Amino acid sequence: MKPLLHFSFLLMPHFNMITFTNAIEVLRVANQLSKNNHYTWRLVSVNGGRIEASNGIKLETIPASEVERTDIIFACGGNDVQDTTTSEHLALLRRLDRSGVLLGGICTGAYVLAKAGLLAGYKCSIHWERLFAHQETFREENSSKRLFVVDRNRVTCAGGVAPLHMMLELIAPHVGARLIADITDYFIVEQLRTSTSLQAMPLVARLGSANRIVFDVLEMMESNIDEPLSGGELARRTKMSNRQMQRLFRETVGTPMARHYVKLRLKRARELLLQTNMTIQDVMTACGFQSTSHFGKSYHQEYGYRPSAERKK
């Protein structure tokens, strides 16, 4: 990949401020510490004007058509990216792709690229909260749990501090290891993460490496939502007896293994109901429920209302 010097950030309405800031500050500090204005950046939107972030702060943008030069443009998304993405956003990104500009997505920005049909056949990263819904909606791409992914002319990353690590890797070939070390020291980053690093899923993040067997079981549950594995099969794959596995899981996680698995599947169902246009029947099937009545009853017990009420929200 050629050196990236000129960056554009396409701010989607209600974009996530911290992810955007983590990306752009790497460029600012690189210029500051090197005492050389290596990098330029522009905040853009379809028609220009102020774009409001998820925290209510508004930033001034210029129309994307007025940017004279850009090497890469990042779509910066937020929690409601599905509702704020318009046909104008999609047309803009398709036009930029035809012109040879590299395309990126920050936080939920991968959704915008995928909606425009620009991630088919690519690996991509998106915030863990939207990962399952993204996988179900865009099956022609390879959604990854990685912190960020660089795949040819596509660069995507999750939220939080992921953009900081992504930007450091992008500029490293240009500025060198010494300046990268200085930037990480400036940000008080103790460990630089790479494109092979995985996002920490909430429960797994809390458990850490306290018990590798339970960690493996949780990973198997995450990877087998549509066709749930039995307790006996999970135990067999960990080379433990079912009784030992059940006891270890409950002691470590705090809930029975079967109950946690159901809660995980219901959580995924809720994500699909809120983040996609899949029918309730398709959501039920995607989350491993065989009976409509069982799905509805389980959902009501977990959330206090039925899936149809969730969809109406």
pLDDT tens string 48-94: 999 999 999 999 999 998 888 899 999 999 988 989 999 999 999 99
- Residues near 179 by Cβ (< 8 Å), separated by ≥ 6? 30, 33, 34
d(CA 157, CA 43): 18
- pTM of this structure: 0.73
pLDDT for position 45: 95
Give the tens place of pLDDT for each residue, 238-260: 888 988 888 888 888 888 999 99
d(CA 10, CA 298): 41
pLDDT for position 27: 96
* SS3 call for 190: coil
d(CA 186, CA 181): 9
**One digit per residue, pLDDT tens: the chain, 313 residues?**
778 999 999 999 999 999 999 999 999 999 999 988 889 999 999 999 999 999 999 999 999 988 888 999 999 999 889 899 999 999 999 999 999 999 999 999 999 999 999 999 999 998 887 787 777 888 777 777 788 999 999 999 998 889 999 999 999 999 899 999 999 999 988 788 877 777 765 555 555 545 678 888 888 898 899 899 999 999 889 888 988 888 888 888 888 999 999 999 998 898 888 888 889 999 999 999 998 999 999 999 999 988 988 887 6
β-partners of residue 256 are: none
Rg (alpha carbons) of the chain, rounded to whole number: 21
pLDDT for position 207: 57
pLDDT for position 30: 95
- Residues near 313 by Cβ (< 8 Å), separated by ≥ 6? 274
- In Å, what is the CA distance from 37 to each residue of 67, 70, 138, 194, 268? 18, 15, 39, 25, 45
- In Å, what is the CA distance from 304 to each residue of 26, 107, 133, 269, 286? 44, 30, 22, 14, 21
Burial state string for 215-252 with b = 16 or more CB within 10 A and e = fewer than 16 = bebbebbbeebeebbebeebbeebebeeeebbebbeeb
pLDDT for position 26: 96
Chain-centroid distance, C-alpha 287: 20
Give span(s): CATH 3.40.50.880, the chain.
Answer: 6-186
Q: Which amino acid is at 90?
A: L
d(CA 162, CA 167): 9
Cα dihedral sign, 21-24-25-28:
negative
CATH of domain 202-312: 1.10.10.60
* SS3 call for 5: coil
pLDDT for position 74: 97
* SS3 call for 105: strand
- In Å, what is the CA distance from 246 to each residue of 204, 249, 258? 17, 5, 9
pLDDT for position 190: 79
pLDDT for position 206: 55
Residue 117 DSSP one-character state: T
pLDDT for position 205: 52
Residues 223 and 231 sit within 8 Å (Cβ to Cβ): no
Homologous superfamily of the 6-186 domain (CATH): Class I glutamine amidotransferase (GATase) domain (3.40.50.880)
Give span(s): CATH 1.10.10.60, the chain.
Answer: 202-312
d(CA 166, CA 9): 15
- Backbone φ and ψ for 57, nearest 5 degrees, come out as -75, 135
pLDDT for position 96: 94
